[in-house]
């Protein structure tokens, strides 16, 4: 051995062995122990908050408009004016409606006087006057019937002339089973329609004439009116198509422009006559109905007078008074629609009405906000909406004042329907200010911290100390300088980064937040 050490190779080998031994000692024997970032589990109050941004708005705001279009007569309050409930803001020109109201009120007074008269009793002179009214109403009705029968006959005459004299001149065999136009229309389908309708009209005129031969003033005029209206509309439709065909004609070697012009004029005259007949018939029918109503009313009044003052008469007149009163109420309502009154006490923020200007119906002219209270509207994301509920309190700062001023609010409403903002479902939530504060103004941006839940004297640790492994929540506890993993059950997550531990960690345990 001594000889080996004396050799150069032996010396080198010995040095290498000693070096490895010393290195192994320092590497393995003096290796650094893991370093831990540790906190102590303690009992503390834990508060959960949801932070959102919203905007201040009036607790009450209204936009006012007229139900009907009209011309602005006068504007009583401008933007910025403070107004009270019921104060007049804008008025439309309403002289006509006011006159109608006055007329309705006069009619009501007349009916009321009539009731008093009935209660007093009917004089013979009044009965004679009413009998004259009935006779006059009967005469008017007979005149209306005679006028109506004349207009029914005239409707047939004008229809017959329009077709037989004005149009048949450019038909071949117009009264046959196959009437043919003597020219080619630019539209074959139009030509077919005209010829087919001419055939139908031939039969229509026959049945119409036969019906009118039985017409008297004592007949059922309503059925004759209905028949005439239907027939006039058919003739009108026929003439409209004929006019379309004739107006499209061009002069050629077989058809002169003079002839075309004559046809156009005749068709135009026929159409005018039919329109006149329709108007005359409508007017005569209205007069007939009015005369009938007037006679019925006159007869009813005569019956009442002859019957004397009885309970039924008084009841009927009372009903008439109710009707007149309702009519007056109607015009009062119409008059009210020409005036905009303030429904709340507040400040005018918009005033678009100008005297003399024509305004459209249902167009906002005046906007008001209440002075009494303000509220905040904010959209809370679906991830946080389950945390909040009605009655939750919150602290608010306004951008206008920075963090120097804080305001107390509470949740008063949460919309059940979502509002999608940038692809995220949110829910509109309303906050009411607890105290009135003159610094709060409509439109201000509000930063809201909502206190959604609170735990008192619970065990808390930092949220980052809890990790998830295989679906379990794990916390590492330092026990005698040795880490130990334990399963835990967590509760409320606080806004300060801490989390409640329900099971698995005791107060005073050293919890590892980070180690390497």
Predicted confidence at residue 440, as pLDDT, reads 81
Burial environment of residue 493 by CB neighbours within 10 A (0 to 12, 13 to 18, 19 or more): middle
Round the average pLDDT of the chain to a whole number and report it: 85
- What tens digit of pLDDT does each residue of 51-81 get? 889 888 776 678 889 888 888 988 988 888 8
| Closest by CA position to 505, among listed 40, 9, 53, 94 | 40
| Sign, CA torsion 261/262/265/266 | negative
Look at 118-122, 155-159, 373-377 and tell me which has the smallest mean pLDDT.
118-122
Look at 212-221, 326-335, 494-503 and tell me which has the smallest mean pLDDT.
494-503
| Closest by CA position to 389, among listed 411, 407, 409, 408 | 411
Q: Give me the mean pLDDT over the 89-116 stretch.
A: 90
State how far the Cα of 304 lies from the Cα of 252, in Å rounded to an integer.
76
Band the pLDDT of 144: cuts 50, 70, 90: very high
Percent of the chain with pLDDT over 90: 35
Domain 373-515 in this protein, CATH class:
mainly beta
- Measured CA to CA in angstroms, residue 279 lies from 18, 208, 276 at distances of 132, 19, 5
What dihedral do alpha carbons 254, 255, 259, 260 form, nearest 10°?
170
Flag whether the pTM goes above 0.75: no
State how far the Cα of 327 lies from the Cα of 360, in Å rounded to an integer.
26
Consecutive H or E run containing 373: none
For every residue of 310-336, DSSP letters joined together read: -HHHHHHHHHHHHHHHHHHHHHHHHHH
Band the pLDDT of 308: cuts 50, 70, 90: low
Is residue 1 pLDDT above 50, yes or no?
A: no
Band the pLDDT of 31: cuts 50, 70, 90: very low
Contact 181, 170 (CB under 8 A): yes
**Topology of the domain comprising 61-93+338-369:** OB fold (Dihydrolipoamide Acetyltransferase, E2P) (2.40.50)
Is residue 486 pLDDT above 80, yes or no?
A: yes
Is residue 385 pLDDT above 90, yes or no?
A: no
- What does the DSSP 8-state code read for residue 74? E
- Measured CA to CA in angstroms, residue 95 lies from 104, 203, 330 at distances of 14, 55, 16
| Closest by CA position to 62, among listed 259, 338, 340, 283 | 340
Q: Give me the mean pLDDT over the 41-48 stretch.
A: 84
Burial environment of residue 396 by CB neighbours within 10 A (0 to 12, 13 to 18, 19 or more): buried
| Sign, CA torsion 320/323/325/328 | negative
- What tens digit of pLDDT does each residue of 326-378 get? 999 998 998 898 899 988 878 888 988 888 899 888 888 898 887 656 778 88
Q: Give me the mean pLDDT over the 230-256 stretch.
A: 92
- What tens digit of pLDDT does each residue of 442-474 get? 788 988 888 777 888 889 889 888 888 888 889
β-bridge mates for residue 218, sequence order: none
Distance of CA 102 to the CA centre of its chain: 35
Predicted confidence at residue 211, as pLDDT, reads 92
| Closest by CA position to 328, among listed 501, 111, 123, 510 | 111
What SS3 state is found at 131? helix
What SS3 state is found at 339? strand
């Amino acid at each position: 051995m001594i000889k080996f050490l004396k050799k150069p190779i032996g010396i080198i080998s010995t040095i290498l062995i000693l070096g490895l031994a010393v290195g192994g000692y320092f590497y393995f024997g003096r290796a650094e122990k893991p370093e831990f970032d540790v906190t102590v589990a303690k009992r503390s109050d834990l508060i959960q908050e949801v932070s959102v941004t919203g905007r201040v708005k009036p607790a009450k705001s209204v936009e006012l408009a007229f139900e009907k279009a009209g011309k602005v007569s006068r504007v009583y309050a401008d933007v910025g004016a403070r107004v009270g409930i019921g104060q007049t803001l804008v008025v439309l020109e309403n002289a006509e409606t006011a006159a109608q109201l006055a007329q309705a009120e006069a009619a009501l007074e007349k009916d009321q006087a009539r009731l008093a008269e009935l209660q007093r009793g009917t004089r013979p002179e009044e009965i004679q006057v009413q009998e004259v009214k009935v006779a006059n109403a009967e005469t008017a009705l007979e005149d209306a019937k005679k006028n109506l029968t004349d207009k029914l006959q005239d409707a047939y005459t004008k229809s017959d002339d329009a077709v037989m004299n004005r149009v048949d001149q450019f038909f071949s065999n117009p009264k046959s089973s196959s009437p043919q136009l003597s020219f080619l229309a630019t539209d074959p389908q139009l030509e077919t329609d005209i010829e087919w309708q001419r055939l139908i009209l031939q039969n229509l005129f026959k049945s119409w004439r036969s019906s009118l031969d039985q017409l008297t003033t004592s007949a059922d005029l309503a059925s004759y009116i209905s028949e005439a209206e239907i027939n006039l509309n058919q003739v009108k439709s026929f003439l409209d198509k004929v006019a379309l065909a004739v107006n499209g004609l061009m002069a050629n070697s077989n058809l002169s422009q003079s002839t075309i012009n004559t046809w156009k004029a005749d068709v135009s005259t026929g159409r005018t006559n039919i329109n006149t007949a329709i108007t005359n018939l409508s007017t005569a029918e209205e007069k007939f109905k009015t005369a009938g109503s007037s006679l019925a009313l006159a007869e009813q009044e005569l019956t009442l007078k002859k019957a004397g003052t009885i309970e039924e008469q008084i009841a009927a007149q009372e009903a008439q008074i109710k009707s007149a009163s309702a009519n007056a109420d109607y015009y009062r309502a119409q008059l009210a629609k020409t005036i905009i009154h303030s429904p709340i006490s507040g400040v005018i923020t918009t005033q678009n009405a100008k005297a003399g200007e024509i305004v459209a119906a249902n167009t906002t002219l005046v906007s008001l906000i209440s002075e009494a209270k303000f509220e905040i509207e904010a959209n809370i994301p679906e991830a946080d909406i389950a945390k909040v509920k009605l009655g939750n309190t919150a602290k608010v700062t306004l951008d206008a004042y920075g963090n120097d001023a804080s305001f107390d609010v509470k949740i008063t409403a949460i919309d059940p329907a979502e509002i999608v903002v940038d692809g995220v479902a949110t829910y509109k939530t309303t906050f009411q200010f607890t105290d009135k504060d003159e610094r709060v103004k409509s439109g201000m941006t509000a930063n809201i911290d909502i206190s959604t839940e609170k735990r008192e004297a619970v065990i808390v640790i930092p949220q980052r100390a809890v990790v998830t492994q295989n679906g379990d929540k794990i916390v590492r506890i330092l026990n005698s300088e040795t880490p130990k993993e334990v399963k835990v059950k967590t509760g409320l997550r606080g806004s300060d980064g801490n989390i409640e531990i329900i099971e698995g960690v005791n107060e005073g345990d050293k919890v590892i937040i980070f180690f390497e």
